[in-house]
């Protein structure tokens, strides 16, 4: 009878640690533009996690390379040869003159090619995605809607198998930046509560281990 009890407590402890990792990741990205929190709970009787797809608060920055995307709209970017989708809209220029997100992924044009701007001071992006350097059009940043995605870390996503991908013609808000949608106070309170639950299950597991060990010693005469 003791072993099933240990299994149950160990499973709950594992779930709480899994939840702690998720909450800690949300807290760590609370200031990351475009970050969408991961939520978890019981769905259909099973512990599951899912992405909070709600848009974060738009903050006016008046910076020409800060792009606020409509809800459900994504930029296409590339990192280490892999294409992703992201809502991160704080753009900059890398050392090779290419337009990137704040975390360094290259922003792609409609043909899937990186956008080279050469200099940042005279670069502006229009709300339709047009990229201009010294007043001259050099590229266009398309936006997409994706019916289902898989998170690949932080603000990067890949389309799920059989996902519908379509270009989004809704205008962006230039000079505005979407903050993460992490509810910091609520997330911190949940983090503390989860830590407390994990500590209780950890103590219970330790107590049950000691009980089993003592019972085995008694059964074997201390051998």
Name which residue leads in pLDDT, 24 or 138: 138
The candidate with the shortest Cα–Cα distance to 85, out of 147, 172, 173, is 147
Is residue 211 predicted with pLDDT exceeding 60? no
Give the predicted TM-score (pTM) of the model: 0.73
> Are 99 and 205 spatial neighbours (Cβ–Cβ below 8 Å)?
no
| Segment 25-35 mean pLDDT | 87
d(CA 23, CA 186): 10
Is residue 143 predicted with pLDDT exceeding 90? yes
């Amino acid at each position: 009878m003791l072993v099933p009890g240990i299994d149950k407590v160990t499973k709950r402890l594992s779930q709480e640690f899994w939840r702690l990792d998720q909450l800690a990741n949300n807290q760590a990205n609370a200031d990351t533009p475009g970050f969408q929190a991961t939520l978890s709970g019981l769905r259909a009787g099973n512990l599951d996690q899912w992405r909070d797809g709600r848009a974060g608060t738009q903050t006016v920055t008046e910076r020409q390379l800060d792009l606020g995307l409509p809800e459900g709209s994504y930029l296409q970017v590339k990192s280490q040869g892999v294409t992703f989708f992201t809502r991160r809209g704080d753009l900059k220029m890398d050392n090779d003159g290419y337009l990137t997100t704040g975390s360094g992924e290259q922003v792609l044009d409609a043909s899937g090619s990186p956008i080279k701007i050469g200099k940042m001071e005279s670069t502006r992006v229009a709300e339709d995605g047009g990229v201009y350097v010294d007043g001259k059009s050099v590229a266009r940043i398309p936006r997409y809607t994706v019916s289902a995605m898989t998170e690949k870390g932080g603000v990067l996503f890949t389309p799920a198998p059989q996902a519908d991908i379509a270009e989004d013609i809704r205008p962006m808000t230039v000079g505005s930046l979407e903050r993460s949608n992490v509810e910091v106070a609520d997330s911190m309170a949940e983090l503390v509560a989860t830590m407390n639950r994990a500590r209780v299950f950890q103590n219970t597991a330790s107590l049950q281990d000691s009980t089993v060990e003592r019972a085995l010693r008694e059964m074997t005469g201390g051998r």
